[in-house]
Structure 1
Amino acid sequence: MRKILISACLLGDRVRYDGGHSLLDHPIIARWRREGRLVALCPETAGGLPTPRAAAEIHQRFPILVRSRSGDDVTPAFLDGAERALEAARREGCICALMKANSPSCSNSRVYDGNFNNTLTEGPGLAAAELMRHGIPVFDETQLAELIDFIDSQEVRAA
């Protein structure tokens, strides 16, 4: 069975910075959950950050710097969470990930620009970047059709 690493908030776990969730209520997600395909993880809490916590954004890419809204350097927790996401994906044999869009950890394509002004900029979050760097495709909740096609194509190849 092909497993998928998934941001825990998308399954309704209250692990977002604000103590909320981003439940993705979709029949395919419910089916994959029943089948035991989903490996839930929040990189930020896995990296040691509490819930709730101050919002954080990637302030700079080189060298990497992630700051909370209150100005704290939370880079070590984000890097640790990224490593833990990769470890979980490898341990569980995940062939891809479904992660939260626009997250400084989970987004596969765009994150907030580090100024806390709701401006998005191109680039992945830290955990998504780590997964992709190691060959694990990352989709976000706006790419569910693409994810389903990817899973279907992997199952055809395995058959």
Structure 2
Amino acid sequence: MYIISACLCGVNCKYNGENNLNENCAKLFREGKAVLVCPEQLGGLCTPRRPTELNDLSSEILNGNGKAMNDEGIDVTEGFLKGAYETLKIAKEVKATKAILKENSPSCGVNFVYDGSFKGDKIEGMGITAYLLTKEGIDVFSEEDLEPNRDKLVYLNQYDRNKANKRRSFKLEEDYQELETLDLTDNLGDFSDLPPKVQENVKKLMISLAEDLMGFTDIDEIAEATGLSIEEVKEVKDNEK
């Protein structure tokens, strides 16, 4: 069973009275696989409501440090904390193992939240509810984690690597279709005449694609996918340690 931010399934509970409909999430709800929550409404906040941002890490706010402040300078931390714990209570009641929450939200942000300046700037971090659920052992995803990185050939940073891993855990059908047709060695040709350092970097790239994009973990699978020998894969992996 999933816990899903209600706004992602078309419920008009967003701070401005609108929603953030996401078809992947709505499909799970229609199939009876999800329970909808809006932490801020569960915490007693009205809809619509003033935009709110966090002035510290969610871990600090849960420990009594830092606050959730709206754009009029009003402290609404109590409502956000209450909503987080009410959401956790529901998750435990329905035995939810995963949650899909709205990215960037001060309650539900999974990878990013706004920085507290109300200037539209984001920082890496989690919303209060997302952090609490994670702390309690529930796997938390954002709706953006369900979308493919179609504009990237290689996952260039830890966020994209994490996103790839999260998508694999959902076993999305389109991912498997992509993996079946992907050939890492296509058009690479023979790079034996390249300088040794460049050869090493090309091998690292190929292995990274096999691991992060295709999900292979065994040396034999990586070797088969990349066209490298088992010895070459082991050598590159050993050099990374």
Same fold per TM (> 0.5)?
yes
How far, CA to CA, are the matches of 1:95 and 1:76 in structure 2?
A: 26
Aligned to 2:203: none
Aligned to 1:4: 2
Residue 53 in 1 paired to residue 72 in 2? no
How far, CA to CA, are the matches of 1:6 and 1:31 in structure 2?
A: 11
Higher strand share: 1
How far, CA to CA, are the matches of 2:108 and 2:26 in structure 1?
A: 21
Residues 57-81 of structure 1: per-residue CA shift (max 9 Å, x gap):
0012341300000110000000001
Instruction: Quote how far apart the aligned CAs of 1:32 are.
Output: 2.1
Residues 74-127 of structure 1: per-residue CA shift (max 9 Å, x gap):
000000011011111110111110000000000112100111011111210000
| Partners of 2:8 and 2:26 within 8 A in 1 | no
| Secondary structure of residue in 1 paired with 2:23 | coil
Aligned to 1:102: 104
| Partners of 2:10 and 2:19 within 8 A in 1 | yes
How far, CA to CA, are the matches of 1:71 and 1:31 in structure 2?
A: 38
Q: After the TM superposition, which of the residue ranges 129-138 and 60-69 deviates more from structure 2?
A: 60-69
Mapping of residues 32-111 of structure 1, within 5 Å? 32-61=28-57, 62=60, 63-111=65-113
Q: After TM superposition, where is structure 1 displaced by more than 4 Å over at least 4 residues in a row?
A: 145-148
Higher helix share: 2
| Partners of 2:69 and 2:75 within 8 A in 1 | yes
For structure 2, list consecutive stretches of 5 or more residues without a partner in the other structure: 148-164, 173-241
How far, CA to CA, are the matches of 1:140 and 1:126 in structure 2?
A: 14
How far, CA to CA, are the matches of 2:23 and 2:120 in structure 1?
A: 25
Aligned to 2:176: none
Residues 3-22 of structure 1: per-residue CA shift (max 9 Å, x gap):
10000000000001100100
Q: Which has the higher contact order (CA 8 A, sep 6+)?
A: 1
Question: What TM-score does the superposition give when structure 2 sets the normalisation length?
Answer: 0.59
Question: What TM-score does the superposition give when structure 1 sets the normalisation length?
Answer: 0.87
How far, CA to CA, are the matches of 2:76 and 2:27 in structure 1?
A: 35
Residues 31-72 of structure 1: per-residue CA shift (max 9 Å, x gap):
422321111000001000000000000012341300000110
Aligned to 1:149: 168
| Secondary structure of residue in 1 paired with 2:106 | coil
Letter in 2 for 1:123: G
Relative to structure 1, the CA distance from residue 114 to residue 41 in structure 2 (aligned partners, 3 Å threshold; closer, same or farther) is same
Q: Give percent identity, aligned residues only.
A: 39
Letter in 1 for 2:169: F
Aligned to 2:229: none
How far, CA to CA, are the matches of 1:112 and 1:88 in structure 2?
A: 26
